Structure 1
Amino acid sequence: MSIFSGIWVPVVTPFADGAVDHAALRRLVHVYAEAGVAGLVALGTTGEPAALEAAEQDAVLATILAEAGALPVLAGVAGNQAASLRSRIAQLNELPVAGVLISAPYYIRPSQAGLIEHFTSLADLSSKPVVLYDIPYRTGVRLELATLLTLAAHPRIQAVKDCAGSLDTTLALILDGRLQVLAGDDINLFNTLCMGGSGAIAASAHVQPERFVALYRALKAGRLDEGRAIFHSLAPLIRALCSEPNPGPVKAALAGLGLIRDELRAHLRQLLAA
Structure 2
Amino acid sequence: MRTDAFAAEELSTTVMAVPPLARRADYALDPVQNRRLMAHIAQGGVRTLLYGGNANLYHVPISEYAALLDLLAEQADAQTRVIPAIGADYGKMLDQARLLRERQYRTAMVLPMAGFTTASGVYDGLSRVAELAGFPLTLYIKQEAYLDLDTLARLVEQGVLAAVKYAIVREHPESDPYLQALIDRLGGSTPAARAAALGKLVSGMGERPAITHVNDYGLAAWTTGSGCIAPRAVMRLFEAVKAGRLDEAQALHARFMPLETLRDKISLIRVLHDAVTVSGIADMGPMLPLLSNTDAADMPAVREATRALLEFEQSLG
Instruction: State the TM-score, normalizing by the size of structure 1.
Output: 0.87
Question: Are the aligned partners of 1:120 and 1:154 in contact in 2 as well (CA < 8 Å)?
Answer: no
Residues 1:272 and 1:208: Cα distance change in structure 2 (over 3 Å)? farther
Residues 1:81 and 1:151: Cα distance change in structure 2 (over 3 Å)? closer
- The residue that corresponds to 1:219 in the other structure is 241
Task: Report the 3-state secondary structure (helix = DSSP H, G, I; strand = E; otherwise coil) of the residue aligned with 1:50.
Answer: helix
Residue 191 in 1 paired to residue 212 in 2?
A: yes
Q: 2:75 aligns with which of 67, 81, 100?
A: 67
In the alignment, structure 2 segments of 5+ residues that lack a partner are 1-7, 171-175, 188-193, 300-317
- The residue that corresponds to 1:26 in the other structure is 35
Residue 35 in 1 paired to residue 44 in 2?
A: yes
Residues 1:25 and 1:272: Cα distance change in structure 2 (over 3 Å)? farther
Aligned residue pair count:
268
- The residue that corresponds to 2:107 in the other structure is 99
Task: Report the 3-state secondary structure (helix = DSSP H, G, I; strand = E; otherwise coil) of the residue aligned with 2:139.
Answer: strand
Distance apart, 1:172 and its partner CA:
3.4
Distance apart, 1:153 and its partner CA:
0.9
Question: Are the aligned partners of 2:49 and 2:81 in contact in 1 as well (CA < 8 Å)?
Answer: yes
Question: Are the aligned partners of 2:50 and 2:82 in contact in 1 as well (CA < 8 Å)?
Answer: yes
Q: 1:271 aligns with which of 277, 284, 294?
A: 294
Q: Which has the higher strand share?
A: 1
Q: 1:56 aligns with which of 46, 64, 78?
A: 64
Residues 1:173 and 1:2: Cα distance change in structure 2 (over 3 Å)? farther
- The residue that corresponds to 2:142 in the other structure is 135
- The residue that corresponds to 1:119 in the other structure is 126
Residues 1:61 and 1:272: Cα distance change in structure 2 (over 3 Å)? farther
Deviations 1:209-229 (A, max 9, x none): 221111111111222221122
**Percent of residue pairs bearing the same amino acid type:** 21
Residues 1:53 and 1:109: Cα distance change in structure 2 (over 3 Å)? closer
Q: CA–CA distance in 2 between the matches of 1:11 and 1:129?
A: 22
Query: What are the equivalent positions in structure 2 for 1:158-177 lying under 5 Å apart?
Result: 158-165=162-169, 167-175=176-184, 176=187, 177=194
Distance apart, 1:185 and its partner CA:
1.3
Question: Are the aligned partners of 2:25 and 2:285 in contact in 1 as well (CA < 8 Å)?
Answer: no
Q: CA–CA distance in 1 between the matches of 2:268 and 2:169?
A: 17
> What one-letter code is carried by the residue in structure 2 that aligns with 1:260?
D
Instruction: State the TM-score, normalizing by the size of structure 2.
Output: 0.76
Distance apart, 1:160 and its partner CA:
0.5
Question: Are the aligned partners of 1:77 and 1:101 in contact in 2 as well (CA < 8 Å)?
Answer: yes
- The residue that corresponds to 2:262 in the other structure is 240
In the alignment, structure 1 segments of 5+ residues that lack a partner are none
> What one-letter code is carried by the residue in structure 2 that aligns with 1:257?
S
Q: CA–CA distance in 2 between the matches of 1:52 and 1:267?
A: 10
Q: 1:145 aligns with which of 146, 149, 160?
A: 149
